[in-house]
Structure 1
Amino acid sequence: MGEKIATKKNARVEEVFNLFITHIQNFLREANLNHQEYTNFVNWADRLGRKGELPLYADVFLETHVLEAMYTNMPGTQPSLLGPYFAEGSPLIESEPGEPLVLTQRPDEPGDVLYFKGHVENTEGKPLANTRIEFWQNDNSAKYSNFDSDAPDFNLRGHFYTDENGDFEVKTIVPVPYSIPTDGPTGEFLEYMDQHSMRPAHLHIMFEAEGHDTLITQVFFEGDEWLETDVAEGVREELITKLEDKGDHKKASLNFVMRPE
């Protein structure tokens, strides 16, 4: 027999695990499942894991409620979902003074040109210079590079820093609404719930500044038909901005407030 590997007890893991089991047991009692229904549930959950959709399901149906419980009553900009399409290792984007940053993109990238301006400060109103910003979004075909797009890796992805006034401006394209994957167990769940699979158009932004909590959030746009029924429930009123039509491009802006650690 192989030697048993000793494990160190973790009180927090034990606490959370016990709560998880207790609530699952209460759920099963309340649902009053028969054995066939229970078996169907277990098999569906098994397919969810085997298909690699557990992170997708958690992002869509669980993460937003965790964030709301943690941050709704706290000062600062509300976070939103990290989502399943974040990729490490994005390129550094730089620009000449006074010029907008240009997000990594193909020549003649399809889509409406967007100039997005932001201002970053702390909860005391102090601008946060040199804040690291990670920025990513889908393309005009509703796909994300590094995942399901034909675009090169890190297309419409990049990181950059705020200027001495806590400001930034980035040239990109207007993102588009998209459907989460529906060809697996998550899609089955949506069918059972008679729920659509659409997310409104959004930008993903992550802010990192010394002495402050990392802020992971999204930016949405007025008038999007899916704002009120986002399948992931990731929309926050303060994260909605106006998309202004300037003829040859669109323009939008938003201020962001980071919390002290």
Structure 2
Amino acid sequence: MTTRISHQPEIQQFFRQAAGLDNAGGNPRNKEIVLRILKETARIIEDLQITDDEFWAGVSYLNRLGGSNEAGLLVAGLGVEHFIDLLADARDEASGVSGGTPRTIEGPLYVAGAPLSEGEARMDDGSEDGVATVMFLEGRVLDLQGNPIAGATVDLWQADTKGNYSYFDKSQSDFNLRRRILTDAEGRYRARSIVPSGYGCDPAGPTQACLDQLGRHGQRPAHVHFFISAPGFEHLTTQINLSNDDHLWDDFAYATRDGLIGEIRFTEDPAQSAKRNVEGRFAEMSFDFQLRPARSEQATQRSQRPRALQA
């Protein structure tokens, strides 16, 4: 017979004490959250009959996860970050808000402070010339009526041909493949970059270790991340997944959504390459973004989640 005690009044009071609810100090909101975590943890231990070995293996895993700085990766891989987007979508629908480019996950690899330019930018530092395929990316930032938004900030970042990101990959130069572009009078942005590679979790890392236990892979399709912002409009966090990737609809982080597929076109015509001032094969991709009007000043700002800061 399974012993269940978590519902008993004295145990419930014990959890309230542990969460600090019997004293005036601390943060009331955080107390409420910790109390819920304690109660749900107790229920899991009881309902699933968690053994001591399983419990302490879980504690050890959390230590490993934090030591590897992969918590942000794991919440994406387990679909929690996608759920937060779905919840925001549901709240919008309940409030009668619709339209605009869909949101999707940010992921853990943004770095603040990328170089800012007007209208257009080259994103890569040239270190993969002759290896990478040059990609020309352009589009417009529009309002819901299709009018251009001049001066919008298009903050974009992507991986290199090995699936690595600058700052986290110390072999890359600072802000390689990271730029901020202000749209021109027509709401247009242009970027010369390279075709990014998809990538997978570190096979020796704790995120992949968890996925292995679930019988899942840790692969992501090639993609480009975006923050789009402009005064008076809702901040948009999204990413464009490249149409030619085998993992397009099999993204371990669940970031692929209808309306967020970038149709990439490859050209091998020497005359076209000459016009673009490149050698050999190159790629083109166009993507327009539509922003919704902001209902509050807070809606114009991105979330305050902790992010990497360039030293």
Same fold (TM over 0.5): yes
User: Per-residue CA shift, 1:32-61, capped at 9, x if unaligned?
Assistant: 322222222222122212332222222332
1:52-131 alignment to 2 at 5 Å? 52-61=69-78, 62-71=80-89, 73=93, 74-94=98-118, 100-106=120-126, 109=129, 110-131=131-152
Q: Structure 1 residue 31: deviation in Å?
A: 2.9
User: Per-residue CA shift, 1:55-80, capped at 9, x if unaligned?
Assistant: 22223322111112112644321222
Task: Give the secondary-structure state (helix, strand or coil) at the position aligned to 1:227.
Answer: coil
Q: Structure 1 residue 149: deviation in Å?
A: 4.9
Q: Structure 1 residue 106: deviation in Å?
A: 2.0
Aligned mate of 1:161, from 156, 174, 182 = 182
Unaligned stretches of 5+ in structure 2? Answer: 1-23, 269-280, 295-311
Residue number in structure 1 paired with 2:4: none
Establish whether residue 175 from structure 1 lines up as the match of residue 193 from structure 2.
no
Q: Structure 1 residue 14: deviation in Å?
A: 4.1
Q: Structure 1 residue 227: deviation in Å?
A: 1.4
How many percent identity over aligned positions? 27
Kept after mapping to 2: 8 A contact 1:93/1:103: no
User: What is the distance in 1 between the residues matched to 2:215 and 2:170?
Assistant: 28
Q: How many residues align?
A: 251
Q: Which has the larger radius of gyration?
A: 2
101-110 or 33-42, which moves further after superposition?
Answer: 101-110
53-62 or 246-255, which moves further after superposition?
Answer: 53-62
1:179-194 alignment to 2 at 5 Å? 179-194=200-215
Unaligned stretches of 5+ in structure 1? Answer: 1-5
Using the size of structure 2 for normalisation, the TM-score is 0.74
Give the root-mean-square deviation of aligned CA atoms: 2.2
Using the size of structure 1 for normalisation, the TM-score is 0.87
Kept after mapping to 1: 8 A contact 2:221/2:247: yes
Where relative contact order (Cα < 8 A, 6+ residues apart) is larger, the structure is: 1
Relative to 1, partners in 2 of residues 1:119 and 1:29: Cα closer, same or farther, differing over 3 Å?
Answer: farther
Q: Structure 1 residue 115: deviation in Å?
A: 1.0
User: What is the distance in 1 between the residues matched to 2:101 and 2:245?
Assistant: 21
Residue number in structure 1 paired with 2:52: 35
1:130-145 alignment to 2 at 5 Å? 130-145=151-166
Establish whether residue 45 from structure 1 lines up as the match of residue 69 from structure 2.
no
Q: Structure 1 residue 104: deviation in Å?
A: 4.0
